Structure formats: structure tokens, C-alpha cells
Amino acid sequence: MAASTVPGFLESSIVSPGTAAMMLALTQTIYDEDLAKKLVAKKGLKAVVTEVGGKTIFDDFNDRINRAVIGACLNSGLIEKKSNDIHAVIHATEEAKKGLLVSVSTSASLALKIAVSRNEHWIAVALFGKSALHYMTNHERAGLGVMHI
């Protein structure tokens, strides 16, 4: 496939906040992230991207993910400081974490890219990254949560 056709392919793939969030979370470079953000905006969706990492001592890491998502959403203006918005973001984040953290050791290290996308009625949280018990055993994980606002 020629490089000039890739943006058209990506643009036609963005059909919902969920696909937009996952595409953003999967980007590996700032250039690709910026291109994806432009495509997402062109589809009329809002989005924000952040990262988080650390050991999966579960209470601490779960809280760190929640704080990162809520903070990024509020700081970017993706959501307002209203109960409906915060509630939807928390539920979408919890759903995404279930897909990501299933069968992860409590002593594993995780490095995650987090993307959140929304339209008028739906918000999606995508988590993508690597987990490992040892630096030579990294493997990829992903999770997606979608919630009605």
C-alpha cells in the first residue's frame, strides 16, 4: 500500500469514539499521534492522549490510571467537572482496565499509552502498552472501555 493512501484508510476506519481512542493509543511516534489526532478531529470527535507507567501494586496503579485519565480529560477540556462526565470517564476507564489487567502479576511493570475520545453522547478510553515481570519478557496488552455520557 502506498504511503499516500494510509491517511485515507485510517480516516475511513474512525467510525466511533472507541475506534478513535484505540487508534490513538496504538500510535508509536509523535508524528503518527499528531496525524491521528487530526483525523479524529476531522471526524468531529474530541480526544486526548497521555501515558502512565509503574509497578502493578494494584491499588496504587489502578488509582494512578484513574488520576491520569480524569486529569487529562479535565485539563484538555474533553469533559467538564460534572458528575455525569466524571462518572462516564471512570466507568469507561474501569472497563478498559479489565481488558488490560486480566492475569497480570501484582509485581509486573507496565508502561501504557492512554487515549480518550468522545462525541456528544459517548466516551471511550483505550489503554495500550507493555507489561513484564522482567525487562526481557515485555509483551503487549490492550483494553477498551466505552460509556454513555
Establish if 124 belongs to a structural domain. yes
R_g of the chain computed on alpha carbons: 15
Question: CA-to-CA distance for 136 and 109, rounded, in angstroms?
Answer: 12
pLDDT tens digits for 98-136? 887 766 666 677 889 999 999 999 999 999 998 877 777
Q: In this predicted structure, what is the pLDDT of residue 61?
A: 76
Predicted confidence (pLDDT) per residue in 41-92, tens digit: 999 999 999 999 876 555 577 788 999 999 999 999 999 999 999 999 999 9
Q: How far apart, in whole angstroms, are the C-alpha atoms of residue 115 and residue 23?
A: 8
Q: Could you tell me if residue 2 is inside a domain?
A: no
Examine residue 97 and state whether it is found in any structural domain, yes or no: yes
E-strand stretches of the chain = 46-55, 109-118, 122-132, 139-148
Supply 75's cell numbers. Answer: 485539563
Contact between residue 112 and residue 51 where contact means Cβ atoms under 8 Å apart: yes
Neighbouring CB atoms inside 10 A of 92's CB total: 27
The verdict on residue 43 lying in a domain is yes
For the cut 90, the answer to whether the pLDDT of residue 94 exceeds it is yes
- Is residue 143 one of the residues assigned to a domain? yes
The string of pLDDT tens digits covering residues 1-33 is 444 455 566 667 777 999 999 999 999 999 999
Judge whether 59 lies within some domain. yes
The CATH number of residue 93's host domain is: 3.40.1510.10
Domain that holds residue 31: 15-148
Q: Assign 120 to helix, strand or coil.
A: coil
**Position 131 in a domain:** yes
| Number of domains the chain contains | 1
Inside any domain, residue 134: yes
